[in-house]
Structure 1
């Protein structure tokens, strides 16, 4: 039986972090990407809460985790410290960590800065453009997206983002969305401006501490969606895997595979984590 979710808030310097705990078992912290929040993992959590205590949260500045003052530029170190505070407050011993997109960048930084709190980090399609042999095209693309936001607004910039990354179908809600998913989409849409103004460039320019991550503890897994082949995000993930000296692991779906195919995605994630836990 899947236990009832528990929602709470954790005070951290400069913000208050909304988080939910689901299920029972080894601790698994899931970190959403960019403007997303805990709600995007609803389907995935449903598949995993019979085996894990899943901690899902809204990163500071997103949705239900407001700043205690004016919005600040996204700082990956601060976000990693927030994640560490959640593990320390809620978790039982080292946690497994799954982060997607910008959340994968945070997870990588968490593993480098707080190695004792992390057993395995699964970095799903991190935008590690700065590790590419020639990141200029990707850097210019991120800058162009930011300039589109500055000159033409949120809607134009997000339309460009979805189109540039082969995610055009995610640009608008569908009429058949169930209430919970519609609520999540509404909250996440409200985060677009903060992400474009304060999060896009810091997450894009972040360079993981490869030397710390290569130490072998925590274990680092680079996950790339099967349907992301040929997309820029595949090249970024492969660049990270090459620097770490590990083979990338194929996961179902594309950049949003955890949402579009949660059952198979959860199975892949569980298999990956089981290697470390020896379950």
Structure 2
């Protein structure tokens, strides 16, 4: 395989870094693997299962190598969508295929709603759209409380609340934010506040991402084939329930992929999914362009 080509792209309010891994099959469009706030390093294992495809990964604005230049404290999916549109246009390869995970799936849905001409197939895996589940008021309040806790008390307490929410099964109770806060120590997290407030998940993205409302009319009208997916082991979690709500809004079946929210991970960030099985399911989905 040819060496990875790392490139720079100036966008409105940010300088993005992205990586292009040339594939052996020049007849297929590039495959973008995107997350948010997860950066390009989280897709190393998944990318290795597509040596035939030109694979493109990137660091979202404000994460790792991609620097914000506008000084903004929060980012909206519409901003990420604009970044992605500029990235696809910079590739100059026509419509691309996209696998988008978590917040990346939210951003990719925003991209397709605006510029469906840039995406041939989108596989949106577990977009955590708290604003479209039946328990939306409690879910959105829980997300806002996570950010408030982070700003007030620091990373450990904020992340503890985040992990408690994303691992919760079923609807978010109405009194969720009034319950005793989970202990950071229970999750192996630090209890001391180091004073920093630059975490891209807890500070920059969580409110905009979870409160985004997809434009279902625009998505249904787009030329893009959209497949919404959730992990088999994720059933009942907020992200999986939101994925089901997106599929229902589009009038399409929910695709069930192997493993969990990070099912494509192969020890990145110390997490293990089922990357080989996940890659097989993704390839089958991308190849099935007749449905």
Number of aligned residue pairs: give it.
Answer: 257
Normalising to structure 1: TM-score of the pair? 0.86
| Residues 1:31 and 1:54: Cα distance change in structure 2 (over 3 Å) | same
Contact 2:197 2:203 in 1 (8 A): no
Residue 42 of structure 2 corresponds to: 40
| Residues 1:41 and 1:277: Cα distance change in structure 2 (over 3 Å) | farther
Higher helix share: 1
For residues 69 and 213 of structure 1, the distance between their equivalents in structure 2, rounded to whole angstroms, comes to 29
Residue 253 of structure 2 corresponds to: 247
Residue 76 of structure 2 corresponds to: 75
Give RMSD over aligned pairs. Answer: 2.2
For residues 10 and 91 of structure 1, the distance between their equivalents in structure 2, rounded to whole angstroms, comes to 13
Uncovered stretches (5+) of structure 2, i.e. residues with no partner: 169-183, 190-195, 266-272
Find out whether 1:30 has 2:30 as its counterpart: no
For residues 71 and 263 of structure 1, the distance between their equivalents in structure 2, rounded to whole angstroms, comes to 38
Alignment partner of 1:59: what SS?
Answer: coil
| Residues 1:9 and 1:216: Cα distance change in structure 2 (over 3 Å) | closer
Find out whether 1:9 has 2:8 as its counterpart: yes
Residue 62 of structure 2 corresponds to: 61
Uncovered stretches (5+) of structure 1, i.e. residues with no partner: 174-189
For residues 233 and 96 of structure 1, the distance between their equivalents in structure 2, rounded to whole angstroms, comes to 22
Runs of 4+ in 1 over 2 A off after TM superposition: none
Normalising to structure 2: TM-score of the pair? 0.82
Deviation of the 1:109 alpha carbon: 0.8
Residue 109 of structure 1 corresponds to: 110
| Residues 1:195 and 1:232: Cα distance change in structure 2 (over 3 Å) | closer
For residues 21 and 133 of structure 2, the distance between their equivalents in structure 1, rounded to whole angstroms, comes to 37
Contact 1:63 1:191 in 2 (8 A): no
Q: Max radius of gyration: which structure?
A: 2
